[in-house]
Structure 1
Amino acid sequence: MASSRMQLELSRVVQGGSRVGVLKGLGKTGQHSLEVPGCLLYTPFGTVPHLTQDTLHTMSNLPCATQVTLSNIAEHQEVLEEFKDGFRKFAGLHDTALYCSLHDPATACPTGYTTNKTVSVWGSGGRIELTAAKFMALQKAVQPDWYQSMADGETWQSNTSRKRVRKSVDRTLAHLDECLLVHQNTQELEGVGVFGVVEGGDILEERVRSARETAKRPVAGFCLDGLQTGAMDQALRIQLISAVTKELPEDKPRLLQGVGRPDEVVACAEAGVDLFESFFPFQVTERGCALCFDFDISPDPERAGRAPPAVLELDEEKDTAGETQQNGDLNREDQTQMTSFEISLKDKRYQDDLRPLVEGCGCYCCRNHQRAYLHHLLVTNELLAGVLLMIHNTTHYHGFFAALREAVASDKLELLKRRLLGDGGRQAGRKE
């Protein structure tokens, strides 16, 4: 069976880890390429929340790779098998590469349901238990360009015992071997890439063992799991990622699951991560908030700077967001809390504010509407609020990734970090 067409071409690797380059050979005919560090378009089930395909296509600079999750697709297995032409065509996703992950990064998963033979996902109808055979039958029906292998990812809580963590690494490797065996004998998955999953909880030796063993298998890339926001503090996350990436081949992509906050993204990219999931703009939208942080690293700070007024204004609002920003990480259950990268349009102060969400932002929302209008839509529970916020938040977030790539390529990561954290304002004391 032909191996995956996916190829990572790096143009720069910075001492210490950060990489910039292009992931080529994506899509059924290998026509798509994705710049790294980059992120995938987040969709629970083939559509970006709040947005129609038509609205989505009016937006520029979106990634050419879309994430879908088995937690949403598994209950529709029979329909997809009957349809026969794969999920991309089923969902009307024409010009995109498709990545299929196990869980939805924006939704917390119940734990305690993994066994030696199965993993569970949660759809609208409840829990669905997947054996390797059922998991692979789903991949055959979905026909993605690449997918995450089955994994036991239930060791992200810090109180997990060393024995349980070791078991999760062993199970995940066994799942990978089983999936690869079926994959290699499935004609429909020819040219499709498998990403091996690196587990290991917060135990360095197990992380290194998981990475080393996974790298021995014929995988197209790697998913780093169990490092999501709230699972551990930033310093430990970076230590573990740095140790893992040293064990992984340089020419294969590394995708980090469950990390979306801009400051954390920059730190993880510095440690050698290539791909991220873009669920963060969705979470911000659900809070009735707008992303409003500065990532302009162009030489001239006066050139339509990205949101400096809003960033200054955030200092006042951080009081209402609690002290979570100062401490760096939130609890996993606490993903509803506002971060220092957004403003809450529900706040009364915006009811007469006639400025766009972000000065100089070129998205449809900022070109056509004011903060006061968004405030009105939110307090009257109009559906349009979610649409306009999602347009802005998605545009702003993907603009940040373009700035991140430029920063890695031109040695400006320190400048980008200063911009993100408000050029030494109240947040400067926050641990990197």
Structure 2
Amino acid sequence: MSDRFSFAVNARDGQARTGVLQTMRGDIRTPAFMPVGTAATVKAMLPESVRETGADILLGNTYHLMLRPGAERIARFGGLHDFMNWQHPILTDSGGFQVMSLGPLRKLTEEGVTFASHIDGSRHELTPERSMEIQRLLGSDIVMAFDECPALPATEESVADSMRRSMRWAQRSRDAFGDRPGHALFGIMQGGVTRELREESAQALTGIGFDGYAIGGLAVGEGQEAMFGVLDYAPGLLPQDKPRYLMGVGKPDDIVGAVQRGVDMMDCVLPSRSGRTGQAWTRRGQLNIKNARHQDDPRPLDEDCTCPACRSYSRAYLHHVFRAGEMISGMLLTWHNLHYYQDLMGGLRDAISQGRLNDFIADFHAMRAGGDIPPL
């Protein structure tokens, strides 16, 4: 394996861009969607199956892995790639978002966060330095700086205080990360929905210098209109020659809108979580397989989809196994959803390369507006 880490933009269409992020474990085609493997597994999927959907990179979760099975234990097994049998790129989040969402179970100071485990109540401390250590033990290819993600709505004063603390933590993360050839560190922009704070955050991060930049603190309850309002300017505040990662997004129309505004990478639990609850995402929008209208339907979820669920199984069968509580239901629907998401990313990449992104987006919205195929 080489120790390279680089990013090249190959084509642009408006603010959107497509390119390749090179890592020592393989290339990541951008714009990229990263399936979430919270606890060293994408739920209901084998790693080989995730790869077959077209995924170039997975996301692992620092908070969950530090609690169980423990970063030191994973390191003894050769790191996260070997432990979970995924030899392609992995990005690990810093743990900040999960810790902040613990509410009364956590205490925040300038040093970091102390918190009680949601599993057994044991006490832990997460600081920028410890987050970098855990992610080094995990061996992830892309490491995220430790930050504070405030829940919205919040006062502008509290968002500003939080952002500035995150920028101090970003510097500490950079210092603790050190020199790790072949591994990348991304900084995280904060600032809520206030442009001046986003500009201040971007300036601080670029002053420190990172291999890539994330746009954090969105998709936390502010709504799509407010999120797009920030994305109308935020990517342009970041270096043009570095990848931009929108954290925790999202629904297909969120993804399309983010890519249109210059975002290169995204992640979300939605395709796998939806699959386990009987929700399927298709070109025609979302459908609920548990609805009675599917129980006698011999057609696939999506006749244009080439995933195993659509190639080999009817809506009637998928309805039956979901109603019967069979594990294959979550497996097939998750595979379908992840396949659809990667298919969408491939379509976006091709459209940007060919300079026809606006037409692609118009077709995307028109197909969804038509709704699911009529019942039989």
Could you tell me how far apart the structure 2 residues matched to 1:139 and 1:292 are?
35
Length-normalised TM-score, structure 1: 0.78
Question: Identity across aligned pairs (percent)?
Answer: 23
Could you tell me how far apart the structure 2 residues matched to 1:104 and 1:180 are?
15
What are structure 1's unaligned runs of at least 5 residues?
294-310, 312-340, 428-432
Query: Residue 67 of structure 1 contacts residue 99 of structure 1 at CA under 8 Å; is this kept in 2?
Result: yes
Could you tell me how far apart the structure 2 residues matched to 1:64 and 1:291 are?
20
1:39 match: secondary structure: strand
Cα distance, 1:172–1:73 mapped onto 2, change above 3 Å: same
Cα distance, 1:412–1:86 mapped onto 2, change above 3 Å: same
State the Cα distance separating 1:179 from its structure 2 match: 1.5
State the Cα distance separating 1:400 from its structure 2 match: 0.7
The residue number in structure 2 matching 1:18 is 16
Length-normalised TM-score, structure 2: 0.89
State the Cα distance separating 1:34 from its structure 2 match: 1.0
The residue number in structure 2 matching 1:151 is 147
Cα distance, 1:416–1:125 mapped onto 2, change above 3 Å: farther
5 Å-filtered alignment, 1:4-403, equals: 5-15=4-14, 17-24=15-22, 26=23, 30-56=24-50, 59-60=52-53, 62-75=54-67, 76-77=69-70, 79-80=72-73, 83=76, 85-93=78-86, 95-103=87-95, 109-111=101-103, 113=106, 114-119=108-113, 124-125=119-120, 128-154=124-150, 156-158=151-153, 160-184=154-178, 189-228=180-219, 231-293=221-283, 311=284, 341-403=285-347
Q: Does 1:411 align with 2:355?
A: yes
What are structure 2's unaligned runs of at least 5 residues?
372-376
The more displaced of 113-122 and 251-260 is 113-122
State the Cα distance separating 1:211 from its structure 2 match: 1.0
1:22 match: secondary structure: strand
Cα distance, 1:83–1:140 mapped onto 2, change above 3 Å: same
Amino acid at match of 2:85: G
Could you tell me how far apart the structure 2 residues matched to 1:365 and 1:81 are?
33
Cα distance, 1:107–1:376 mapped onto 2, change above 3 Å: farther
State the Cα distance separating 1:104 from its structure 2 match: 9.8
* Aligned residue pair count: 364
State the Cα distance separating 1:39 from its structure 2 match: 1.2
Deviations 1:48-68 (A, max 9, x none): 1101235445x25x2221110
1:360 match: secondary structure: coil
1:33 match: secondary structure: strand
Query: Residue 83 of structure 1 contacts residue 90 of structure 1 at CA under 8 Å; is this kept in 2?
Result: no
State the Cα distance separating 1:135 from its structure 2 match: 1.6
State the Cα distance separating 1:418 from its structure 2 match: 2.6
CA-atom RMSD, angstroms? 2.5
State the Cα distance separating 1:31 from its structure 2 match: 4.7
